[in-house]
Amino acid sequence: MQSRLQNVRIAGLGHYLPERIVTNAELERTVETSDQWIQDRTGIKERRIARNDETASSLGLAAAKMAVEDADIDPATIDLVLVGTTTPDGLFPSTASLIQDKIGATHAGGWDCAAACAGFLSAFATGMQFIQTGASKRVLVVGTEVLSRIINWQDRGTCVLFGDGAGAVLLEAAEYGGPLGLVMRSDGSKKYHLWAEGIGAARDEDGNGPTLEQCMIQMDGPAMFKSAVHAMTDAVREALVQSELTVDDIDLFVPHQANLRIMQGTAKALGMPLEKVIATVHKYGNNSSATIPIALSEAYREGRLEEGMKVAMCTIGGGLAWGAMILEYSRVGVRPAVASKEAAGVPAGGAG
């Protein structure tokens, strides 16, 4: 990572959550569960559910507009739109193409990254590398989900976990900022930890494909919990080694918001103080590929994401697919020491 040609700043952040809130008390009326049971096992109190007329592209567009406005740029100057999603509007065109069109990124390419909950980090890393190599100057990265469309609302093991939402990040070439360490992994042998069949699945002898129930989220909870903590912990450790940093150097930890117990277990295994952990799972549930950008956007607006911070992100999802990134966060794109000198009226490179 040290030989990169370009650095990358985060020029804009945005997020969008549907208005409808579904509480644990509401779920108590439809499945055999309780508010206490859900909170004890997941840390979730409520989640957001999309309206019938909302889709992954419409949620993603709202988040993208917020990020573009935050960056104060002309959408026509965006070179690439990348979207992480498990619930695209359709098989094709890509959700990225739909967002690219509606936001006015008239000169941009675009495609989706399908890696379940690891979709955003996959797209984020890809966008970073397009900028690092000089292939793009501005990249819009979106994580967006309408998981409520693929949930079996009679399955208490999954329906209590997931919610809808979107987050977006506008990346731009700069003198300072960007990834210091990156780890992305996959293990298809663990498919049945977390999966959902699709229209392209194998047919039986009579030509019948998967049932609607089989196309909804299915999960082996205990197996997923064990894999998640181990995989995310190992990925962060490896990314720290690449970055030549330690856990003590990390200012902010943004894990995938799968489950509060998983997040706390990962932090504990790393020796990460809980006060450094960003958590949104209690109010939004698991938004799959949207959790990390939503958390980043909220952290920025709450004043928790500051210039020059070392930020650790990690995720895991169906595949299994997982990964981690150590990010040197910058909004201004200028090394802090240089920025502070210029603010004081001292020319860059001059005496301090």
Report if residue 203 sits inside a domain: yes
pTM here?
A: 0.93
What does the pLDDT average to over 200-212? Answer: 93
Nearest residue to 233 (alpha-carbon basis) of 260, 275, 272: 272
**Position 10 pLDDT exceeds 80:** yes
CB neighbours of residue 187 within 10 Å? 13
Cβ pair 318, 195 in contact under 8 A: yes
CB 180 within 8 A of CB 328: yes
Q: Are 74 and 168 part of one and the same domain?
A: yes
Residue type (1 letter), 283: K
- Looking at the fold, whether 89 and 122 belong to one and the same domain comes out as yes
Task: Give me the catalytic one of 117, 193, 259, 287.
Answer: 117
- Let me know: does 323 contact 122? Beta carbons within 8 Å: yes
User: Model confidence over 279-318: pLDDT tens digits?
Assistant: 999 999 999 999 999 999 999 999 999 999 999 999 999 9
117 is catalytic: yes
Question: Catalytic residue among 7, 152, 259, 286, which?
Answer: 286
Same domain, 141 and 199: no
Structurally, how many domains does the chain consist of?
Answer: 2
**Do the strands 310-317 and 252-255 form a parallel or antiparallel pair, or are they unpaired?**
parallel
Least confident of 3-12, 25-34, 339-348: 339-348
Is 201 in the same domain as 313?
yes
Same domain membership, residue 272 and residue 159: no
- Domain assignment present for 350: no
In the listed set 147, 177, 207, which residue is the last one of a domain according to the structure? 177
Q: Residue 223 burial by CB count (10 A; 0-12/13-18/19+): exposed, middle or buried? A: middle
Annotate 243-282 with b (16+ C-beta within 10 A) or e (fewer). Answer: bebebeebebbbbbbbbbbbbbbbbeebebeeebbbbbbe
Same structural domain, 173 and 271: no
Over the chain, what is the mean pLDDT?
94
Mean pLDDT of 122-132: 97
> pLDDT value at position 350?
42
Has residue 237 been placed in a domain?
Answer: yes
- Expressed as residue numbers, the domain containing 325 is 180-336
Per-residue pLDDT of 34-91, as tens digits, reads 999 999 999 999 999 999 999 999 999 999 999 999 999 999 999 999 999 999 999 9
Rounded to whole angstroms, the Cα distance separating 88 from 254 reads: 24
Percent of the chain with pLDDT over 90: 93
Q: In this structure, is residue 241 part of a structural domain?
A: yes
From 137, 157, 177, give the residue that closes a domain: 177
Asked whether the bond before 93 is cis by omega within 30 degrees of 0, the reply is: yes
Active site residue 286: yes
More confident position, 174 or 2 = 174
pLDDT(118) > 50? yes
Query: Are 241 and 311 part of one and the same domain?
Result: yes
Residue 3 predicted with pLDDT over 50: no
Cis before residue 320, ω within 30 degrees of 0?
Answer: yes
Which of 256, 259, 287, 314 is flagged as catalytic? Answer: 256
Residue 185's contacts (CB-CB under 8 Å, 6 or more residues apart) are: 231, 235, 321, 322, 323
Residues 94 and 109: their CA atoms lie apart, in Å, by: 11
The answer on 213 and 162 residing in a single domain is no
Judge whether 346 lies within some domain: no
Instruction: Report how far residue 257's alpha carbon sits from residue 279's, in angstroms, rounded to the nearest whole number.
Output: 7
**Residue type at 337?**
A
Whether 344 is in a domain gets the answer: no
* Domain end (from 130, 151, 177): 177
Domain shared by 171 and 212, yes or no: no
347 assigned to some structural domain: no
Mean pLDDT, residues 207-217: 93
pLDDT tens profile 216-274: 999 999 999 999 999 999 999 999 999 999 999 999 999 999 999 999 999 999 999 99
What is the pLDDT confidence band of residue 349, given thresholds at 50, 70 and 90? very low
Would you tell me the crossing angle of helices 291-301 and 56-71 to the nearest 10 degrees? Answer: 30
Give the confidence band of 150 by pLDDT, cuts at 50, 70, 90: very high
Whether residues 164 and 206 share a domain: the answer is no
Contacts of 347 (CB under 8 A, 6+ apart): 341
Task: Assess whether 197 and 298 both reside in one domain.
Answer: yes
For range 122-127, the mean pLDDT:
98
The yes-or-no verdict on residue 347 having pLDDT over 90 is no
In a domain, 114, yes or no: yes
Q: Are residues 26 and 163 in the same domain?
A: yes
Backbone angles phi, psi at 349, to 5 degrees: 90, -5
CATH number, residue 98:
3.40.47.10
